[in-house]
Structure 1
C-alpha cells in the first residue's frame, strides 16, 4: 500500500500568514484524509476556501481544551485504519500548539506518525534575524508573571545558543524589559512581527532599543530572537556580588533555597557558597 494511503497520524504545517505558502502535499492530504483534526474548524474552513480544496473526510476540533479527552478516540480511529490529518491555526502542530499528546499516544501504540513539512515562524525568524543560526534553542512563551518570567530568563543567562521565543503583542514590552534586566541592555536581538503577512516587520538591535520601541504598543503575531551569551563573556566569580540580590529577594518573601538555586543556575556559582554567605550576611 502506498505510504500516502496508509493509516497514520499526519502532522501538517499550515501557512503562518500567506496562504500561498501551502504546499501541494498539504492540499493533497486535506483532500484525501479520512479524518481532519483542526485546532479551529472555522479557521480551517477559511483556509480551505482560499486554497480551493474540498475536505472529503470528517472534520473534528482538537485544541488545548479537549485534547486530553479526544486523544484516545483519535488513536482508536487510526488503529482502526483511518488516516488522520492534524492541523493547527498556523505552523507545525505540537510546536507551542496541540499535537504532542496525540503523537505521544500514537508512538506508545506503535502507530505510524509522519509529517508534511512547511512554514515555521521559528525558522523564518531565525533566518531573517541576522543572528547566528548554527546553533539555536526554542523557548516558546515565557511565563506571564514578571517574577516567574525573570527567573526563567535567569536560567538562560549563560545559554550560548541563539534563543527563539513566542510572545503575545500586549506582553512584548514587559518581556523585552525583563530581558534587558536579566540578559543585559546590549544583548543583540530581533523582533519579528507578522511574518509572511502584508505588514511584515523585523526590528533588529540591542534589547534596550527594542524595549523602548515596544513601549508604544505592537500589534500582530510576534517572534523574538535573542543572541546567546558571547564566548568568553565574563560571569560572576564571587558570591559576595550576588548577596544584595539574595537579601532583597528573601526580604520580598522568596525562600532562600529557591533564590540561591536560581542564582547558581544564572551565574555558575556554587549554590552552597551563595547560601552560606547569605546566612552570614543575615
Structure 2
C-alpha cells in the first residue's frame, strides 16, 4: 500500500494500554501508512510513566507527556512532584499531563483533584512545558484554576468538550484545543460550532486511543490511524481541503510539543512487548463512551 502524502500528528494516545499488547507494532505501522508520523503518548500515572517511556525508547516517532490524571489524584503525595520532575527530565517529556479535573464519576474528591492539578501546573510553568488538560463535568472549576495561571502558560485542552466559557478563556490566552472523536458525534453540534469558529492554528488532532472512537468506525478500539478521519471531519466543518488542515494542525503540534522533525521520527521499530511492565487492572474510570 502506498504511503499517504499527508503528515499528521496524534497528539494524545495511550498506546501502552494493554489492548495493544498483541499488535502494537502493527498499529504503529498502519498509522505511518496513512500519514500519522508522530504520536504523543500520555503517561497519566506513575506506573504509566514507565510504560510510556519504554514505548518511546523503541519508537523515535513517539514522544511522551507525563502527569497525574485527576481520576488518580489520590496517588498525589509530597513525593509526587519531585518524582514527576525527575522522570520528565530523564525521559525528555514534551508536556506535563494529562492533568485536570474530572467530576463525572466517583473518584478522588474535588479538593484532592484541585490540589494535584495546581501543583502540576506550577511544575509545568517552572519547567516551561505545555500542560495537557483533562476536563470532564468540571468546567467552571477548571476555568477558574486555569484563569489564575500565569499568562505564559501554554495549555492544550485535550479532547475539548467544553462550552464558550472555557473556549473563550482558551482563545484569549492563545491555548490549544484538541480535536478528536467527540467532535464526530451527532449529538455534539454545540461542540462543532465552537470548533468551527476557533482559530485553526490553535487546533491539534488526537485520538485518545484506545478510547473515544470516531463515529462511523466499526472497531471499538480507537487507533492513531483514525487521525485522517478526524482531519477529514474538521476539514469539512471548516470548508477547507484536508491537506490544508493537516498542514496547519501538524505545524501547531510540532511547535507546541517541540516534536522531532518528520525526517528523524519513525513509528517503526520496537516489539509488541517493548513497553511491558507489571500494571494494575484496566482503569474503570477512563472515558470510553
Same fold (TM over 0.5): no
Higher CA-based Rg: 1
Q: Report the TM-score when normalising by structure 2.
A: 0.30
Greater relative contact order: 1 or 2 (C-alpha under 8 angstroms, separation 6 or more)? 2
Q: Report the TM-score when normalising by structure 1.
A: 0.31
